[in-house]
Each structure stands twice: as C-alpha cells, then as structure tokens.
Structure 1
Amino acid sequence: MTRRKKREFNKERHEQDMNKEAFKFPLDIDGTDSSDDGAIQPLDTPPAYVRRPQRETKYKTHKPSVKRPTRMTISKARQVPSAVYGLNKPKRSDRDEREIYLEKFKNYNSVIVDKIVEERMQREKRKDKQKQKEQQKRAELAALKKKRDAQKANGEIVKAKAEPKNKQHDTLSVLGSKQNKLREKQQAATGKRIGPNVTQPGVSILGTAQAADYKAPDNNLAKQIDDAFDKLNVEGRVTGYTSNGVIGRYEVKLNRAFRVSNIPRLNTALKAELGLDELRIMSPLIGTSNIGLEVPLAEVRPITFRTLFEASSLKLRKPDYKFAVGKTVDDKIFSYELSKAGHILIYGNQPNYDTNVIDNIMLSLLMNHSAHELKVAVAAADDTYDDYLDVPHSFGRRMAPDDPETMKIFLTELNERSVQFRRAHVRNIQSYNSRVKFESKKATLVIIIDDLAAIIENKNPEPLRGLVQILKQGKPLGIHVIANNMNTDQNIRYELLQLLQTKIAFYDAENKAVSGTDELTQGNDALAVIPTSNKPNRISVGTVNKNVRQSVFDHIKHNNR
C-alpha cells in the first residue's frame, strides 16, 4: 500500500501566478517605471492615460452567456383545466369588503352590538342635522350681507341691524346650539352639588381596637416546658414566642435525630407533665425545622373587627372584594379575596362564633363596596341576618333554605347572567363589567345560607340540585355562597365539600370537614383551608360587637341614598 504524499506549499508557482494576475495601475499599463522620466517612448505607442485591452488571466472573470431558448424550453405554462368548470372560468362579480362582512354576520344577533350600532347611527344623524343647520345659517348670513352691499352700492338707505337681546347667540360656533344648551346647564347647576350622595363608613365607628399587651411570653410556662423536656429525656429548648391574643405559640428547637412519628406520643406526655388540657403541636414551623407548642392563653385579648380592618389591606378602601376573618397564631391577619375564595363553608357547632365569621366577611365587603357593586341575599330560617336586608345592598326578602322556590330565584339570576355573558363573548364578571356601561354592570351576589343541614336533610332533592348547580357555575358569574353548617351529626357529601373551596371549621372530634379540628379548643378557635393551599391555617376568629354592626348599617342606610 502506497502512502499518500503530503501536500506542500509551492512558493515559486504561487509567485508566478501572482505576477500574472497582479492588477496594474492604469497609468503604468505599458510596464515603464515612474522613476525613468528621461526614457524616450515610440511614436506609435498610445498615450499613458489610454488603457490597453485587458489580458486574459488564468481564471476567467466574465459571466457565462445566457442559454438561448430551445424547443424544450417552456416559455409559458399552459392553462390547467378545472375539474368542475374545465377551461371556462366562472365569472365572479367583484364585491365590496363591506358586503362580504355583512353577509358573513347577517345571522349574528347581539344586544350589545345592536345597541352600539344604533347609538352610532343616531350620533351620525345628529351630526348631519347640525351641519345642515350651520350651512343653512351661513348661507342666510351670506345672502343678507350680499343684499346689503347691493343696497349700499345703489345708494339706498340700509336699516341698522337691531342688537339681539342675548349677545351669546351672535357668533356661530362649531357646536351651534349645543354650546347654548351646555351654557344653560352650567348656569342652572351653579351652586349645586354634582354626583351621587354615597360615602363609605369611617373607621371611627368600628369601636375599639385590640389591647396590645398580649405579646409578652409567660416565663413560668416556658421554664416548665424546658423542665418537661428534661424529664422526658428529649433534647429541646424554648427559643421563641408569638401570640395573637388568644393562642400562644412557644417555638422549641429539638435534636435533629428526633423522629416526627413520635410527635403524637410527645404531645400526650407534655400534656401530662404540664397539666394542660389543650395543647397542639405544630410540626414543623414554616421556614424552620423547629416545632411549635400552641397553648390557649389564660388572659384572652379579644380580636376586634377594627383591628382586622386597620391591620390589613382593607384600610386602603379598594373595591377588590377582600375580607378579613381573624388572626393566625403568628399574629398575622387572615384575609382573602372573594373572587379567589369562591364558595365558603363554615362548619362546626359553635352558636356564638359562627355568626362572627359571617359578620366579619360581610362587614369587610360592606365597608368598601356600594350597593351597585355588591348584593346580599339571605336564605335562613330565623331572623339572625335580617339586618343585612335593611340596607340598599339587599337582593330581596329573607327566604327559607329548604323551600324549592328559593333556589329557583337564584337559578333564574344565574341563567340570566350566563346568557348575557355569552352574548357579550365573555366568561367572567370582571370581563363583562369592563365592556359595558356603568348602568349595565353586574353586582357581585353573596348568598348566605343558614343552615346547610336543612337543605341536605330535606326529602325534596330539588333544593340540593339547585345548590349544586349554583356552586358549579356561580363563581365566574359573580355569585358566591356562604353556607353555615351547625349540625356536625349530618355528613356532607364529598362532592359538596369539593365545590365549597374555602372551609372554616371549628372543633370537630371526627374531622368530617377539615382534618385536625379534633385538636382545637372550644370557642373561636378554627382551621381555615383556602383553594390555593392544602395545609390548614389555625386562626382565631375576630369578634363583632352588635353596636359596631348597627353603626355600620345606620351609616349605609342614611348616607347612601
């Protein structure tokens, strides 16, 4: 096998090729050197500024000639016959784009679009009439001026023009009579208040705030906790303390070798050592590897609605449908948006505190929303929530929850909104309200149901079917349900629990609605589950004084007329 010779660079051949292809300056084409000025040139040689024909180089630089057409060259493509018309093309009339558009949407019916088109046509007609009047008036003024000039030229006596009573009508403006009407309205409205008489309730009528002396820890209890860990031979020390005025949490740092599965046994042992009836262990705390011992305080500082309002974003007075219910154990306000919460379930047999949850939600909404933005409907057997029907936000009279006609009224409203949203080509209430006028906007409807067990236990299945339909379709249409279930003996179907996305559960030994409620204390202690998180939050529900609630209602009734 012969080995291939290695390619090498031939320097002499390269220099010869470069000398042949080197480009010479036009003035040095004859090959003479510029330094030989005294050399004699022949007579028959052309001048130095005349360029000689270009010599052929090794590589040709001219373009190849274009091929001439032959009998095989296709000069023009033949006409391909159509399968339907053959070689005879159908005659198509040239139509305007507007005709094509109108033909495309001739069977389309929309109340909103028809109304917009009608208003536009009326506005164009008014403009045309106004232009005609202005042109007619200008023509009359021009004819009158021409007549007076002719009379002056003939020497006739021209009568002086009488001054008008109102000089405002002398000049003709582009607006014409509209300017006069606008001036009259401004004169009539001088000294009068313009706009509706609607004011929001002030913070001063919300009563007193929560006492601020609840943040100090109980040093004796902290020392007892350390001693209890020593007796149980568990490495643990109290490192921090937080409280919301009702529940106190002691943060304990354990050894890393401690198993999480031993926390239930540790809870039982600590209750016996500390002599506490109520103790809940939070493991682990968010952002740390420590555990939290949650203990009810001996001296409770009630959480008032004023504290919830001032310490949250509700004080910004924005119409964002936010509500506040209470405080978490780490002293943070538990607030959420109604549009995200969807439908709310209040579960637990706490006759004094379940009403506080509804009062906190409704007062939060009433403080920042007018009657045009919020409507309240009540389906209850007693008169507990009749105060919400005396305000302008009321949707109607109080109805029984187990009455089949109650759900029919709400379903009628649901179907009407669904049809209107579909005609407007929107899917939710936010998009619909952003497209229509102020008078046509839809208000968010909140339905209070007390008690949910009356609908579940009812032998007639129609109310329950109507409620399920509202829960499935009502959220994007702006209809929200707040269902209060006090009877813990009655089981709630899993489908119904899934449709009620936000759950606030009080003490329940069987954990039917939310797991972990068996470790809560009796009273305003509750677990809250929101749609965006599966982990329940322990909250202390705020209290609402009757005088505070009545003050808010009186302000709304007398200052929103």
Structure 2
Amino acid sequence: MPERYSRRNKSRSKGKRETTRKLDAIFGSVQRAFDDLFVEEMHSEGIRRASKVLDFFLLLILFGVIYLIASIFTSWTGIIGESARDLMMSKWGLASVIPLCYLGYLSVALLVKRKIPAFMTQTTVAALLFLSAELMLGLIYIDNPNLENMRLCGSWGNFIASAALRSIGPLGIFLLGLMLAILVGLFYYQGNFKGLFSKMQTFFGYVLERIRKFKDSFRKKEPTDAVDMADIGMTDDDKDNQPQVSPRDAFEFSDEPSPELPLTDRDYVLTEVAEGEDAEDGYVIPLDVEPGKFPPPLDILGAPIDHDATADIKPMLEKYGAKIIDTLAEFGIETELADIVQGPTVIQFRIQIAPGIKVSRIAALSNDLALALAVPSLRVEAPILGQPYVGIEIPNPKRRPVLLREVVESSNFIQSKYELPLPLGLTVDGTPMVVGLETLPHLLVAGTTGSGKSVFISSCLIGLCFDRRPDEVKLLLIDPKRVEMTFYEKLPHVLTPPIVETKEAVAALAWAISEMERRYDMFAKARVRNIGSYNEKVLPKDRLYNLVIVVDELADLMMTSPKEVEDYICRLAQMARATGIHLILATQRPSVNVVTGLIKANIPARVAFTLPSQADSRTILDVGGAEKLLGKGDMLFLSPKFAKPVRIQAPWVDEETISRFIKYTINIFGEPEYLNISEGNGSSHEAAYLDDPLLEEAVEVVLATGIASASRLQRQLRIGFTRAARLIDTMEQLGIVGPQEGSKPRDILIDEDRAREILATALGGDRSGIDHN
C-alpha cells in the first residue's frame, strides 16, 4: 500500500512538472510575440524619430549656410545678416565662403547618402583651400592697404600674409602657394602624382586649344580659286540670290528630295559639267578644299530619284488582299485586311486574325497562299514585331532600287549620335534603318553570290567614312577574293592596302589582338574603361581611332587556318568592343565549320541575304526565312535589340559612286598613310613584340630548360598563353628556335652567346641580361 501510494505521488508530481513546463513555454511564446510586435516597433519608431530630427537639423544648417553666404554678397538679410557679415569679413574676409560651402556640402551629403565619403581627405582639401585663399587675399591687402582690401582678407589673412612675407619673402610665398595647390591636387587624387599631372596636362592642353581656335576665328580666310559661274550655267542674279547655309544645313531631310543641292560656305562647287570640259566623271572637285570642311555634299552619292509609283498598282494590291482573305477563309481561318504597306522590294499585307486562331496555322499555309496569288516567293511574318497583325509579304511588282543617298540624307542618319553609323537600308514600310556598329558591336554577314552582300559591305564602308575623318576611324580590309576591296586601296581611312594573302590576313588579326591589349594597358594607366572615356581625358593629338576590321570571305580563311582564325576572331569579339575595335565578317557559305558555335555566340548581330536552304538560314539567323528572300539586296537583319529578324532592302552603290567618293576624300585628306603590319607582325609578329619586357627572360628560360614551349613559358613566367605564344614566335623570327613541327617541341638552334648577340642586334643595344648557369 505505501509503495503504491508513493508511486502515485511520483506520477502526480511528474505530471505537474510537465504541465508547468508547457505553461512556461506558452507564456514564453506570448512574451516573445509581444516583444516582436511592440518592442521592435518602438525601436523602429525611435530610429525613425531620430532620423527625422537629424534631417531637420541638417536642413536647418543648409539653409543657415545659404543665408550666411547671401549676407556676404547682398544687403537683403536684415540686421542679423549684417552683423554676421561684419564678423566674418573682419575675421576671415571673402575666404569665409570656403568653410561655409564645405559645411553646406557636408549637410547635403548626410541628407542624401547618410555618410560622408573620405571625410578626412575632403576636410584637409577644404582647409588647404581656405589657407591658400587667406594668403592670397592678405597679399592683396599688403600691396594696397585700405579698408576695402582689409575686408577682403580679414585680420587672419593680414596676419598670415604679413608673417609669410617677413619669414620667406615673395619667392617663398609663390613656392608656398604652388605647394599648397599641389597638395590639394594630391589629396584629391589620393597621392597619385601621375593622375594629377595627367589631368593638369589635359586641362592646359584644352585651354591652349581653345585659345588657338579663338585666334583662328579672327583670321581672315585666304581667298580660294573662284569658279566661273558662267561655266556652270549661272547668271549674276542667280549668284546673288543663291542661299548660304552651313554644312549641316545642307543635310536637311525632306520627304520631297531636292533636285539640286545649294551651295554652302565650303568654297567649292560640285555640279555636272558639259562634255568636252576638263573634268573627270562629270564632276568638278577642286583640289584646294579646306580640310576641316567635311562631310562632303550629298551629290557625291549621285542624284536623287523620285520613286512615287504607289498609285499605279493600288488596284492590283487591293485585288491581292482580297485573294488572301478568301484563301484563308477556304481553310477555315477568319481574317480581316488591316493595311497594305508598299516597300521598295516587297508588299506587306497586314492581316488581323479572329480570336482563338493560332498564328502557326497561317504560317503553315505559306505555300498555299503563294499558289493562290501566283507569286514566286511568299513569306509570312507571324506576328509583325510590335503590332497585333500577321504580315504576308510578296514581291513588289514594281520593285525599285534603294540608293545609298536615300539613307544617308535621311534624318535617321543625319541626327544619329552613333560613332560608327551603318546605313542598312529601308525597311518594309520604307523607313531608313541606321544602326551604330559600336552598339552591335560586331556584324556577321552571309549570302550567296549575287545576293548583294558585297554591295552591302561597300555601302557600310562609305557610311562609316562619310562624316568621319581618318583620325577618327580606320579600316583594316581583308579580301581573300582579291577583287572586292581593290577600290578602297587609296581611301584615306584604310590602315593598310587590302590584304589578299591568307598568311598576311592571319597576321593582321594577330596584330589587332596586340593592338587591343596595348589599348587596354593604356586604359588601365589612365583609369578609364573604354575608348570614349579615354579620348575625353587625353589631349586631341593623343586620341585613339576606332578600328573596323572587314573580312569579305571568312570561309577562305577558315579553310586554310581554321584554328588560328577562330581563336583570333573569338578573342576580338569577346574583348575588343571597349577598345574601339569592331569586326564585319562576310561569307558565302554559312556552314557550321565556317560560322562555328563560338563565332556565333560572340557575334549576336547578323545579316542574311538570299541563302540556298533553310538549314543555312538557321545557321546564320537561328530561324528560317532567308531562303525565301528575293536577292539583289533583300536581307534579314538580326540584332540583340530586336526579338526577331527585320526585313530590309540594302542600299545600292555602284563603282562610279565609290570612285567619286574616294577621290573627294583624297582631295581633302590626301593619300592614306599605311601601317605596314604585314612585316611588323608577320607569322611571328617580331616588330610588334620586340619591346616585350619579358623577351630576354623568356629566352633565358628556353636556353636554361632546353624546351621551347609556350605552355612552359606560361607556367615559368606566369603570363597568358597568347603572350607566351607570341614570345616563342618572336624567338623563331630571330632564329633562336626552329619552326613548329606538329606536336614535337621546337628545336633550339643557337647557344647562349649567339642568342645574346641576336638580341643585342634586334633590340638596338648591348644586351647582357642572359645569364645561363
């Protein structure tokens, strides 16, 4: 019995403890919930209150600073402002504005960012500026002691200037002021002497350039050889009434093209001449054109042509539209004709489909629609980009050419802010399409023979050079076909004559990589990220040009040197955008072994002209459609800006126009100054890399290890593989190592002493840095 009772009491006490534990847990949860709900809210409320109080005091300080500064320069601040002005001017003079401005800056920084970046540095800069101002204003008072000058510097400025003049004299004061200015700059640039002096050089260079331009504006222009107005069919009255416009005004865009371009203040005349006169290609282009007068007149690109033929085929288009609606109705698709758009190459019928009908059903009926309309080619754009319609495109019965002038004289080209404008052509609705190559930043072009690919490249080259000087853009032309780029050999913008040999083309791509790396080194030293920021920071004479590399037939290069060409192109496509180097690659055969996956991944902007199959279209555009194009400049343009390809009619430019444009630019800028990158780079790039500081050390590693390998140099010198390979190629050109023989290592051809002699000769001095133990 007692045992049973004891056991019962134990179980009861155990139950009480468990109940107590549960109640404690419940009350603890309630307490924590209370704290979370109310205590945290009160804490947040306290923070918000403190923040509002801080904002109030900061605004009070800011308005107080504005009030005190206004009291120094105006008399509208009342008795308090006058008292404050008298106190500040008697103590510190005009220099009191500096600490007031700094106090206002601190208030704004705390209001906006809740912190003061580099507080000690900025405070030191403000203190040095205040001290310099007191010193300078004090010197003014000492030179001319009167009450007004005393109020300029205050008692502090008088004391500082008098003490400095007695202690170190005028020369010492000058040096002290110079030292204070340099200290301010150093604090601002965080102790970077190079950055400080580079900025000073840029500033003074800009000031000198502005002064020079200001002086030149007052110089009287030298009279140029006048053109006899009678020789070109103008009377004296016509000459007096001839309007004078600026070069940019000559580019005014109008829906009705002007039959002739008015004379401008360029001091030249460009017009047609009669037969028998001493003029070339029917144009008079004087040789004394002032170099700054650019861009050229639009007549360089030929005469404008009126192409208004819409009314003639309007009944035919309405008949086609009704036929499309009836054909779709036969297949159970209810539609309405929303609009008919006539472009230079195709007619687009914009169809609005009934709700619940899949767009893919219309796309699948393209062959049936072509049969019903009896047209050779029909393309369905489902849907039209940015519109709730399905587009059905058929060839224009009255197709017209699109001249390059139509795109260049449009407002889209003239008013564009692009550094490298490309006049692509006219869209389906006749809108001029202009893009900036720097925004793409590279372009891949594919098309069969006769599709308009080469003409498109020519129009792009003229568009790039039309209003850009040779010091702003350079062209590196690679033409394995040997006939497409010969016109541009004398163009002032070309970097070299067109390159036709495959080995020279590979060497040119390797040179472009070295140029890209050189520019990145310059950007790193200048602390900028791209070519635009660099050109804004340096003097005009040190600005870098944009480089456009044009390869007219990529397939030829890929057949001869596929690995090197793919590596170079991919590296340029990945990294060259910021340095101002851009690629335009063209090919007739867009197969997967030419347009590889790596090249496509790095060049998202592509143009497809007529292609033989849908597979080729998918290779270049990732979608079909290029196989249904009409040729002669009809193309599809794909860029990251658009979700799907856009159909464009590329502009036409003939050989006569190209020749006329090149002759005009030669008359302005002179013959091109070629850069001999073939010899300077070659297959081993000797001249481009002899200045590599690691060349001697690399030769030492090769002689010490007995192995001439790029991977070995990469590990030993801790450099990139590309640089290591260039060093090995340079050694091959110097005759230190032998050529590459498959997978075998290169042979070392000379000993240490002979290597030292070769390096000394190549580098232009005595080199004894090789120490082979």
TM-score, scaled to structure 2: 0.48
* Compared CA separation, residues 100 and 200, structure 1 to 2 (3 A): closer
Which amino acid in 2 is paired with 1:227? D
* 1:313 pairs with 2:313: no
Distance in 1 of aligned mates of 2:184 and 2:536 = 30
Contact kept? 1:215, 1:245, Cα under 8 Å: no
Distance in 2 of aligned mates of 1:387 and 1:275 = 42
Q: Which residue of 1 aligns with 2:635?
A: 526
* 1:557 pairs with 2:666: yes
* 1:227-246: CA deviation from partner (whole Å, max 9, x where unpaired): 32343343223231112211
Larger Rg: 1
Contact kept? 1:373, 1:444, Cα under 8 Å: yes
* 1:419 pairs with 2:419: no
Distance in 2 of aligned mates of 1:323 and 1:405 = 27
* 1:175-220: CA deviation from partner (whole Å, max 9, x where unpaired): xxxxxxx9xx99x966648984443211122113354324443233
1:503 pairs with 583, 606, 609, which one?
606
* 1:396 pairs with 2:499: no
Q: Which residue of 1 aligns with 2:653?
A: 544
Which amino acid in 1 is paired with 2:654? N
Distance in 2 of aligned mates of 1:388 and 1:239 = 47
2:620 pairs with 504, 513, 532, which one?
513
TM-fit CA distance, 1:373:
0.8
Q: Which residue of 2 aligns with 1:348?
A: 447
TM-fit CA distance, 1:108:
6.4
Q: Which residue of 2 aligns with 1:170?
A: none
TM-fit CA distance, 1:452:
1.0
Contact kept? 2:487, 2:658, Cα under 8 Å: no
Distance in 2 of aligned mates of 1:302 and 1:432 = 42
Which amino acid in 2 is paired with 1:495? L
Q: Which residue of 2 aligns with 1:448?
A: 550
Distance in 2 of aligned mates of 1:267 and 1:542 = 28
Q: Which residue of 2 aligns with 1:145?
A: none
Distance in 2 of aligned mates of 1:398 and 1:414 = 20
Please provide the CA RMSD for this pair: 3.3
SS of 1:199 mapped into structure 2 = coil
Contact kept? 1:205, 1:551, Cα under 8 Å: yes
Map 1:23-422 → 2, pairs under 5 A? 110=194, 192=222, 196-216=291-311, 217=314, 218-316=317-415, 320-351=419-450, 353-381=452-480, 382-400=482-500, 402-403=502-503, 404-422=506-524
* 1:332-385: CA deviation from partner (whole Å, max 9, x where unpaired): 222111210101000121345001221221111211111111111111121311
* Compared CA separation, residues 99 and 446, structure 1 to 2 (3 A): closer
TM-fit CA distance, 1:557:
0.7
SS of 1:269 mapped into structure 2 = helix
Distance in 1 of aligned mates of 2:453 and 2:358 = 37
SS of 1:518 mapped into structure 2 = helix
Contact kept? 2:447, 2:610, Cα under 8 Å: yes
* 1:487 pairs with 2:596: no
TM-fit CA distance, 1:465:
1.7
Contact kept? 2:566, 2:599, Cα under 8 Å: no
SS of 1:289 mapped into structure 2 = coil
* 1:245-264: CA deviation from partner (whole Å, max 9, x where unpaired): 11100112222132223123
TM-fit CA distance, 1:443:
0.8
* Compared CA separation, residues 378 and 109, structure 1 to 2 (3 A): farther
How many residue pairs were aligned?
Answer: 403
Contact kept? 2:553, 2:588, Cα under 8 Å: yes
Distance in 1 of aligned mates of 2:193 and 2:492 = 35
Distance in 2 of aligned mates of 1:120 and 1:313 = 35
Structure 1 gap ranges (5+): 1-95, 123-181
* Compared CA separation, residues 106 and 252, structure 1 to 2 (3 A): closer
* Compared CA separation, residues 357 and 113, structure 1 to 2 (3 A): farther
Of Structure 1 and Structure 2, which has the larger fraction of its residues in helix? Answer: 2
Which amino acid in 2 is paired with 1:206? L
TM-fit CA distance, 1:103:
12
* Compared CA separation, residues 534 and 119, structure 1 to 2 (3 A): closer
Contact kept? 1:452, 1:483, Cα under 8 Å: yes
* Compared CA separation, residues 259 and 352, structure 1 to 2 (3 A): closer
Distance in 2 of aligned mates of 1:370 and 1:477 = 18
Which amino acid in 2 is paired with 1:344? L
Contact kept? 1:208, 1:304, Cα under 8 Å: no
* Compared CA separation, residues 504 and 121, structure 1 to 2 (3 A): closer
Of Structure 1 and Structure 2, which has the larger fraction of its residues in strand? Answer: 1
Distance in 2 of aligned mates of 1:310 and 1:529 = 24
Distance in 2 of aligned mates of 1:313 and 1:113 = 41
Distance in 1 of aligned mates of 2:352 and 2:411 = 31
Contact kept? 1:317, 1:368, Cα under 8 Å: no
Contact kept? 2:186, 2:193, Cα under 8 Å: no
SS of 1:345 mapped into structure 2 = strand
SS of 2:364 mapped into structure 1 = helix
SS of 1:512 mapped into structure 2 = helix
SS of 2:397 mapped into structure 1 = coil
TM-fit CA distance, 1:538:
1.2
SS of 1:457 mapped into structure 2 = helix
Which amino acid in 2 is paired with 1:496? I
* Compared CA separation, residues 294 and 387, structure 1 to 2 (3 A): same
Distance in 1 of aligned mates of 2:385 and 2:571 = 38
Distance in 1 of aligned mates of 2:653 and 2:391 = 29
Q: Which residue of 2 aligns with 1:29?
A: none
Contact kept? 1:324, 1:335, Cα under 8 Å: yes
* Compared CA separation, residues 353 and 280, structure 1 to 2 (3 A): same
* Compared CA separation, residues 364 and 190, structure 1 to 2 (3 A): closer
TM-fit CA distance, 1:547:
1.7
